[in-house]
Amino acid sequence: MTRDERRAQRTKESEDKKKAKEERNKSLDLLRQLRAEIQDLQSLLRSVHDGKASLTIYANYVDENRSEIEEIFRKIPLQPTDGDVAEGDDKRHIHNQWQMLLCSPVIKEPATPLPVDEQVKEIAMCDQFCQEIVACIGRLTIPARINVWLKGGWNGYLLPFHDLFADELPRPKDRQNLLKILAASSGAIEGGIVEPASGLIFPSQTISSMATVIQALS
């Protein structure tokens, strides 16, 4: 291979990496939009469940929310952006959970009144589906955000995972599961170490500074 051919190959590889990164960032942005829409829908359904709102009154909102979510799904590629099998599984699970949500009359025909017992049952099922979608989205989007923070410099402070991501992953068990996954996955978090028991993420510079101090004191 000539020098010019090697240069052309490196240029192409660089462009391919840049394109893949842009596609991944676009996919993550869409997933975050999806999470916001799902959580807003979930919040309304919980208000209906608690007797604070009427589903028939907010039927137009549910219809608009459903259309917006469907539009986001059309833009999200089901195939993993970097060949990650786990990513592909989570995306498929998100899609399947949404398809099950669409089967509920609460989502499909919110303007049609339901018997109280049936509405309570349907809202409970919808809430469960929403929670699963939010959990899957968190597994896909949160590691990337942590890496951005660590790369940009967190001024040496520890990252309190539960405090930072309580809104994105409301269920404690989902946050704990993700912490365990991140701690066990080599390379998932760049520039930091995850400690599931405490829920803290230690930036590398903090660990390095601590090691220096310990060495100086020993």
Domain of residue 22, CATH code = 1.20.120
Q: Are residues 88 and 44 in the same domain?
A: yes
pLDDT per residue of the chain (218 residues) written in tens, 0 to 9: 777 666 766 666 666 677 667 788 899 999 999 999 999 999 999 999 999 999 999 999 999 999 999 999 999 887 766 656 568 889 999 999 999 999 999 999 999 999 999 999 999 999 999 999 999 999 999 999 999 888 876 556 789 999 999 999 999 999 999 999 999 987 788 888 999 999 999 887 654 444 443 343 34
Q: Are residues 24 and 80 in the same domain?
A: yes
- The answer as to whether 147 is a domain residue is no
Which residue(s) pair with 193 in the sheet?
A: 202
Q: Are residues 75 and 170 in the same domain?
A: no
Domain with 69, as residue range(s), is 1-138
pLDDT confidence of residue 78: 75
The four Cα atoms 11, 12, 13, 19 give a dihedral, to 10 degrees, of: 110
- The answer as to whether 77 is a domain residue is yes
Q: Kindly state the DSSP code that residue 192 receives in the 8-state scheme.
A: E
Q: Are residues 105 and 48 in the same domain?
A: yes
- The answer as to whether 144 is a domain residue is no
Q: Are residues 126 and 80 in the same domain?
A: yes
Q: Are residues 32 and 123 in the same domain?
A: yes
pLDDT confidence of residue 156: 62
Q: Are residues 212 and 117 in the same domain?
A: no
In 3D space, the residue among 40, 46, 23, 51 whose CA is nearest the CA of residue 144 turns out to be 23
CA distance 4 to 11: 10
Q: Are residues 16 and 114 in the same domain?
A: yes
- The answer as to whether 205 is a domain residue is yes
pLDDT confidence of residue 169: 96
How far is the CA of 121 from the CAs of 66, 114, 157, in angstroms? 20, 11, 45
Q: How many structural domains are present in the chain?
A: 2
CA distance 128 to 169: 14
